[in-house]
């Protein structure tokens, strides 16, 4: 290697770069955590005087404020920081070899370790793990996602108002999570996702002493959306301005653009997966709806004048005006240069796929538009937090450790299949085993995976596009198998030839993960049979089939459910008595409050069933047994999709009405 031994000389490599930035001869910092010019003191400088005068006791932990005197007061000795970072990484279970890899990469690039550990880079730690490491190293308290619900927002806002501090208009990565009061003196507790955000914190909340906690990026954005964002009010303000007929044409254009973008921003903040614009049949305007947690909600009605302009704007922005007569148009939304200032945050983070449709060929006044929102920076969940019972979790983990085989996840669109697959594959060491993914679209980016997309932005104007896509996937897979992957993630099996290729891949020493669009685990076997494949090859390769759905979880406003139906269904379930010693069966039903916008539900979680491919199940698959026979053998009777969901009802996590959507409840009550 041309670089020779110095390639491994971490300290010289990083110190060369460090010294370029700071002229003072500070020692190199091999494990930088991206600390800005920040150091730790007992309390903010502007408060020191006050405290000394009154001699009041003051919170003395975890307070950091920016300082311009970095050279005279370094945060900690570099070697100390170095050691504490390594210790923190070890506590989180990062292996020695991975720590060495992190050090090498950092020596070459001087990036903060936490950046390199992000899942879009090396992904050695899940996001909450990164936050915990950062908290340990900076000596700040970690703020976990479970604390989000207990944030007393109205109290915080009251204190802010009292001190004449306005909440920032934009999300800047720092949020108040608590107010501590000691002898009438308020201290603001702020959550940040990286130490450099203390600079923004002291600027935005100037006037109050501050204490910082470290939270993950996801925790922060969840809190922002839930507690502090006024994005819906922003949209309506622009709507009012837009409705004002007196505005000049040029200004109206700019207002229109900002209205649409602020609507998109609100949808992102509200956690929506889709925005739909549907015209009213009477042509009096149209409705804007959002889909949140899989359920549609009306956002607003737009009267005809504004409606027509919004639709025309979207159609022209997407360049679809001449294409609509021929059928639905599928486009990616592009942000204009001019919008980067105001909407840069969503432009960088989210992708918008726009599907435009005309109701009749000849009538271009009735156009429906659906925007699908893709959070490109979303960090996938950890496998252990998805809600699997310990046995199922162990089974899935054993599958991902196998050298060869086929593991399938089934469920309808939007059932969280990708999340499960990513969470599973995230547990595979991407350094020692090469992971290759073929998806459309790529939902989450992973730095060490070889990720490929099949036919991006395919316009669906020709009737052959679906088969083109399948052919594209087929060719891509054929080529990529030569790139020596160990583990393959293939988005979705839709055609027999793809299934055949994947079976071949499995038989030639690859571990394959994929999804099927199916309702339950056993039906996936019928689907594979319909592809006309060699079922004995499938049977010998198959490791397991997971079927899953997302169901809504009850808001804290839920009330006890005493309905006879509910109690009868739960009363018939013998398995509810086992393993729940002392835990009462407490079913609840939805009510509705301000927090859940009257829906009675907040958030969703996964329910699942796992078909374990045992030798007996293998025999049944090969011999052409019926799906129900296979299910009976491969899925423990208390662990069916509905059975697992009813456990959640017994625990008051979801309502029986949610579970009824999954299928007939009698399936679960084995007698």
- In whole angstroms, the minimum distance from the beta carbon of 596 to Zn ion comes to 3
Cβ proximity to Zn ion: between 134 and 292 the closer is 292
Cβ proximity to Zn ion: between 111 and 651 the closer is 651
CA angle 50, 62, 193 (to 5 degrees): 120
* Residue selected from 211, 235, 268, 555 as contacting Zn ion according to rule CB under 5 A: 555
* Alpha carbons 273 and 406: distance in angstroms, whole number: 30
Cβ proximity to Zn ion: between 600 and 634 the closer is 600
Virtual torsion, Cα 25, 29, 30, 36, nearest 10 deg = -130
Contact 354, 332 (CB under 8 A): yes
- In whole angstroms, the minimum distance from the beta carbon of 655 to Zn ion comes to 12
Cβ proximity to Zn ion: between 595 and 628 the closer is 595
* Alpha carbons 550 and 604: distance in angstroms, whole number: 6
**Interface characters, 503-542, with Zn ion (x: CB under 5 A):** ----------------------------------------
- In whole angstroms, the minimum distance from the beta carbon of 605 to Zn ion comes to 16
Cβ proximity to Zn ion: between 346 and 557 the closer is 557
- In whole angstroms, the minimum distance from the beta carbon of 553 to Zn ion comes to 11
* Residue selected from 567, 593, 597, 605 as contacting Zn ion according to rule CB under 5 A: 593
What is the per-residue burial (b if ≥16 Cβ within 10 Å, else e) of 192-206?
Answer: bbbbbbbbbbbebbe
DSSP code for 282: T
Q: How many residues are listed for the chain in this entry?
A: 671
- In whole angstroms, the minimum distance from the beta carbon of 588 to Zn ion comes to 12
* Alpha carbons 331 and 357: distance in angstroms, whole number: 11
- How many helices (H) does the chain have, and how many strands (E)? 24, 21
Cβ proximity to Zn ion: between 318 and 557 the closer is 557
- In whole angstroms, the minimum distance from the beta carbon of 527 to Zn ion comes to 39
Q: Which stretch binds Zn ion (CB under 5 A): 311-319, 552-560, 606-614, 660-668?
A: 552-560
- In whole angstroms, the minimum distance from the beta carbon of 258 to Zn ion comes to 32
**Interface characters, 71-90, with Zn ion (x: CB under 5 A):** --------------------
Count of residues that bind Zn ion according to CB under 5 A: 5
Q: Which stretch binds Zn ion (CB under 5 A): 3-11, 407-415, 592-600, 647-655?
A: 592-600
435: left (phi over 0), alpha (psi -120 to 50) or beta: beta
* Residue selected from 22, 526, 595, 623 as contacting Zn ion according to rule CB under 5 A: 595
Instruction: Assess 590 for contact with Zn ion (CB under 5 A).
Output: no
Cβ proximity to Zn ion: between 13 and 223 the closer is 223
- In whole angstroms, the minimum distance from the beta carbon of 180 to Zn ion comes to 28
* Alpha carbons 654 and 447: distance in angstroms, whole number: 36
- In whole angstroms, the minimum distance from the beta carbon of 487 to Zn ion comes to 42
Cβ proximity to Zn ion: between 223 and 521 the closer is 223
Using DSSP bridges, classify how beta strands 367-375 and 272-279 pair: parallel, antiparallel or unpaired.
antiparallel
Cβ proximity to Zn ion: between 553 and 640 the closer is 553
CA angle 446, 447, 448 (to 5 degrees): 100
Contact 610, 396 (CB under 8 A): yes
C-alpha 326 chain-centroid distance: 36
Q: Which stretch binds Zn ion (CB under 5 A): 75-83, 294-302, 400-408, 549-557?
A: 549-557
Instruction: Kindly identify the residues of this chain, within the stretch 625-654, that bind Zn ion according to CB under 5 A.
Output: none
Cβ proximity to Zn ion: between 292 and 573 the closer is 292
Q: Which stretch binds Zn ion (CB under 5 A): 135-143, 267-275, 467-475, 590-598?
A: 590-598
Q: Alpha helices of 55-142 — where are they, by DSSP H? A: 78-91, 96-109, 113-117, 127-138
Q: Which stretch binds Zn ion (CB under 5 A): 110-118, 130-138, 294-302, 586-594?
A: 586-594
Give me the phi and psi of 569, to 5 degrees please: -60, -50
Side-chain half-sphere CA neighbours of 425 within 13 A? 34
Would you state the structure tokens that stand for residue 275, as one six-digit string?
């925005």
Which residues, in sequence order, are CB contacts of 643 under 8 Å at separation 6+?
Answer: 573, 575, 609, 637, 668
* Alpha carbons 220 and 198: distance in angstroms, whole number: 14
DSSP class per residue in 22-77: --S-PPP-TT-----SEEE-SS-HHHHHHHHHHT-----SS-EEE-S-TTTS-SS-
Q: Cβ-count burial of 519 within 10 angstroms (0-12 exposed, 13-18 middle, 19+ buried)?
A: middle
Q: At what angle do helices 96-109 and 78-91 cross, to 10 degrees?
A: 140
Instruction: Assess 378 for contact with Zn ion (CB under 5 A).
Output: no
Instruction: Assess 596 for contact with Zn ion (CB under 5 A).
Output: yes
Cβ proximity to Zn ion: between 272 and 596 the closer is 596
* Alpha carbons 494 and 518: distance in angstroms, whole number: 11
- In whole angstroms, the minimum distance from the beta carbon of 293 to Zn ion comes to 13
Would you state the structure tokens that stand for residue 669, as one six-digit string?
């009550």
Cβ proximity to Zn ion: between 226 and 455 the closer is 226
DSSP code for 499: H
Which residues, in sequence order, are CB contacts of 661 under 8 Å at separation 6+?
Answer: 551
Q: Which stretch binds Zn ion (CB under 5 A): 54-62, 167-175, 199-207, 548-556?
A: 548-556
Q: Cβ-count burial of 388 within 10 angstroms (0-12 exposed, 13-18 middle, 19+ buried)?
A: buried
- In whole angstroms, the minimum distance from the beta carbon of 149 to Zn ion comes to 12
- In whole angstroms, the minimum distance from the beta carbon of 657 to Zn ion comes to 15
Cβ proximity to Zn ion: between 90 and 152 the closer is 152
Q: Which stretch binds Zn ion (CB under 5 A): 162-170, 205-213, 528-536, 585-593?
A: 585-593
- What SS3 state is found at 453? strand
- In whole angstroms, the minimum distance from the beta carbon of 326 to Zn ion comes to 46
The alpha carbons of the chain give a radius of gyration, in whole angstroms, of 28
Q: Which stretch binds Zn ion (CB under 5 A): 117-125, 279-287, 534-542, 595-603?
A: 595-603
Please, which residues bridge with residue 374 across strands? 351
- In whole angstroms, the minimum distance from the beta carbon of 272 to Zn ion comes to 18
Cβ proximity to Zn ion: between 272 and 557 the closer is 557
Cβ proximity to Zn ion: between 567 and 593 the closer is 593
* Alpha carbons 83 and 76: distance in angstroms, whole number: 11
* Residue selected from 425, 557, 635, 662 as contacting Zn ion according to rule CB under 5 A: 557
Cβ proximity to Zn ion: between 232 and 497 the closer is 232
Residues contributing to the site for Zn ion (CB under 5 A): 555, 557, 593, 595-596
């Amino acid at each position: 290697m041309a670089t020779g031994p110095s390639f491994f000389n971490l300290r010289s490599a990083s110190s060369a770069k460090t010294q370029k930035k700071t002229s003072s001869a500070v020692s190199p910092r091999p494990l930088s955590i991206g600390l800005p010019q920040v150091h730790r003191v007992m309390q903010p400088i502007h408060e020191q005087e006050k405290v000394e005068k009154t001699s009041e006791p003051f919170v003395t932990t975890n307070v950091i404020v920016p300082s311009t005197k970095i050279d005279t007061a370094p945060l900690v000795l570099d070697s100390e920081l170095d050691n504490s970072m390594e210790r923190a990484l070890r506590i989180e279970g990062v292996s020695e070899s991975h720590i060495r890899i992190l050090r090498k990469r950092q020596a070459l690039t001087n990036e903060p370790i936490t950046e390199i550990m992000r899942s879009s880079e090396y992904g050695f730690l899940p996001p909450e793990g990164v936050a915990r490491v950062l908290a340990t190293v900076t000596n700040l308290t970690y703020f976990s996602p479970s604390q989000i619900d207990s944030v007393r927002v109205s109290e915080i806002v009251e204190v802010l108002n009292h001190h004449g501090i306005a909440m920032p208009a934009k999300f800047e990565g720092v949020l108040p999570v608590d107010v501590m009061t000691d002898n009438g003196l308020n201290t603001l507790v702020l959550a940040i996702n990286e130490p450099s955000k203390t600079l923004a914190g002291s600027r935005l909340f100037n006037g109050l002493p501050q204490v910082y906690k470290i939270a993950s990026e996801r925790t922060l954005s969840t809190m922002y959306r839930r507690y502090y964002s006024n994005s819906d009010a922003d949209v309506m303000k622009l709507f009012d301005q837009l409705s004002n007929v007196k505005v000049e044409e040029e200004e109206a254009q700019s207002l229109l653009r900002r209205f649409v973008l602020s609507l998109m921003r609100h949808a992102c903040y509200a956690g929506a997966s889709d925005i739909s614009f549907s015209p009213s049949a009477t042509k009096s305007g149209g409705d804007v709806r959002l889909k949140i947690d899989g359920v549609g909600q009306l956002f607003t009605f737009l009267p005809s004048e504004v409606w027509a302009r919004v639709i025309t704007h979207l159609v022209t922005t997407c360049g679809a005006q001449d294409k609509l007569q021929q059928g639905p148009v599928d486009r990616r939304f592009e942000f204009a240069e001019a919008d980067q200032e105001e909407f840069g945050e969503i432009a960088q983070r989210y992708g918008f796929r726009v599907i435009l449709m005309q109701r009749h060929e000849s009538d271009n006044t009735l156009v429906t538009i659906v925007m699908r929102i893709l959070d490109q920076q979303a960090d996938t969940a950890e496998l252990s937090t998805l809600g699997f019972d310990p046995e199922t979790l162990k089974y899935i983990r054993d599958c991902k450790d196998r050298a060869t085989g086929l593991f399938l996840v089934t469920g309808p669109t939007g059932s969280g299949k990708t999340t499960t697959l990513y969470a599973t594959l995230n547990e595979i060491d991407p350094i020692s085993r090469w992971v290759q993914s073929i998806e459309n679209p790529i939902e989450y980016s992973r730095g060490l995976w070889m990720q490929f997309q099949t036919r991006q932005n395919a316009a669906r104007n020709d009737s052959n596009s679906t088969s083109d896509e399948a052919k594209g996937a087929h060719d891509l897979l054929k080529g990529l198998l030569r790139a020596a992957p160990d583990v393959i993630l293939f988005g979705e099996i839709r055609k027999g030839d793809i299934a055949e290729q994947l079976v071949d891949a499995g038989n030639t020493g690859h571990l394959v993960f994929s999804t099927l669009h199916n309702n339950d685990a056993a039906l996936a076997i019928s689907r594979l049979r319909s592809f006309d494949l060699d079922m004995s090859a499938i049977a010998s390769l198959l490791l397991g089939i997971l079927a899953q759905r997302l169901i809504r979880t009850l808001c804290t406003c839920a009330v006890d459910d005493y309905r006879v139906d509910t109690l009868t269904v739960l009363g018939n379930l013998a398995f509810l008595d086992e393993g729940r010693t002392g835990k009462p069966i407490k079913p609840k039903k939805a009510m509705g409050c301000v927090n859940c916008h009257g829906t009675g539900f907040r958030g969703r979680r996964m329910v699942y069933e796992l078909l374990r491919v045992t030798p007996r199940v293998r025999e049944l698959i090969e011999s052409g047994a019926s799906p129900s026979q296979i299910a009976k053998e491969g899925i423990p009777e208390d662990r069916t999709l509905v059975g697992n969901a009813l456990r959640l009802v017994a625990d008051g996590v979801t309502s029986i009405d949610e579970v009824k959507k999954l299928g007939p409840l009698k399936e679960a009550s084995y007698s």
